[in-house]
Amino acid sequence: MKAAVIVFPGLNRDRDMIAALTKIGGVAPAVVWHQDADIPDVDLIVIPGGFSYGDYLRCGAIAARSPMMDKVRERAAKGAKVLGVCNGFQILIEAGLLPGALMRNTSLKFVCREVKLEVTNTDNAFTSGYAKGQIIRCPVAHHDGNYFADAETLAALEGDGRVAFRYAEGTNPNGSINNIAGILNAEKNVLGLMPHPENLIETAHGGIDGRALFAALLDKAA
């Protein structure tokens, strides 16, 4: 399983993501700058978090319209797995790879803390290492994570098992509809989530609850 991390100007969680993929996968991922000619032949493409283009216009909006995202779209259509975390999730939404919108947190505050997540569905390559309904800990750090979708989109997400993670135990940090924290595309090879599983993968982090996501993706034991 080969992985690549896409880096846009203004992202700042790329190093954590590269460290997580390297530690769990045993091999460093390819690091692809947004202006590189192409993405190497990989099975997993990761867009990490941060503040691409300073969150100008709307979070993720500028990066989503870059030529690099056309390449990500092509790979996703061919079946490559694509993971977007935090700003990466915002970019995937703005690029139309995932439905809905991520709006300002209802508190209007940047929220940086630990939440509880319910693993809502496990019949996909990303969450198969967890038990359905399992509650895990995970850090969040965002200002615009308030997931919104119209009733029709929401019904499709819920009905087709495309809600991967939900905020649990009253820890919803942003007011997202149906407590949604992470969603999949219809083919279930694209996952976007606001929380940062890459920041809870070793005991030095205070827990390893994020590890199973990467272990499943990279075909490694958690």
Does the active-site annotation cover 59? no
Structure tokens at 50: 């941060």
Q: Which stretch binds another protein (CB under 8 A): 17-25, 42-50, 73-81, 92-100?
A: 92-100
Catalytic residue among 59, 86, 138, 142: 86
Q: Which stretch binds another protein (CB under 8 A): 2-10, 104-112, 163-171, 180-188?
A: 104-112
Amino acid identity, position 217: L
Binding flag, residue 9, another protein (CB under 8 A): no
Q: Figure out which of the listed residues 31, 61, 111, 222 binds another protein, where binding follows CB under 8 A.
A: 61
Binding flag, residue 146, another protein (CB under 8 A): yes
CA 218 to chain centre: 15
Binding flag, residue 94, another protein (CB under 8 A): yes
Q: Is residue 206 within 8 Å of 200, Cβ to Cβ?
A: yes
Beta bridge partners, 45, equal 4, 82
* In the complex, least distance from residue 103 CB atom to another protein, rounded to whole angstroms: 7
- C-alpha distances out from residue 102 to 25, 27, 92, 122, 128, Å: 30, 33, 11, 23, 25
Does the active-site annotation cover 86? yes
Binding flag, residue 111, another protein (CB under 8 A): no
Radius of gyration of the chain from its Cα atoms, rounded to whole angstroms: 16
Catalytic residue among 59, 94, 118, 196: 196
The number of residues making up the chain comes to: 222
Binding flag, residue 148, another protein (CB under 8 A): yes
Q: Figure out which of the listed residues 15, 23, 34, 65 binds another protein, where binding follows CB under 8 A.
A: 65
What secondary structure letter does DSSP report for 11? B
Amino acid identity, position 162: R
Binding flag, residue 222, another protein (CB under 8 A): no
Binding flag, residue 207, another protein (CB under 8 A): no
In angstroms, rounded to a whole number, what is the distance separating the alpha carbons of residues 181 and 172? 8
CB closer to another protein, 57 vs 112:
57
In angstroms, rounded to a whole number, what is the distance separating the alpha carbons of residues 115 and 157? 22
For 170-207, letters b (16+ CB in 10 Å) and e give ebbbbbbbebbbbbbbeebbbbbbbbbbbbbbeeebeb
Residues binding another protein: what is the number (CB under 8 A)?
19
Binding flag, residue 149, another protein (CB under 8 A): yes
Binding flag, residue 57, another protein (CB under 8 A): yes
The residues that touch another protein, with contacts defined as CB under 8 A, are 57-58, 61, 65, 94, 99-101, 103-108, 146, 148-150, 175
Hey, which residues are catalytic here?
A: 86, 196, 198
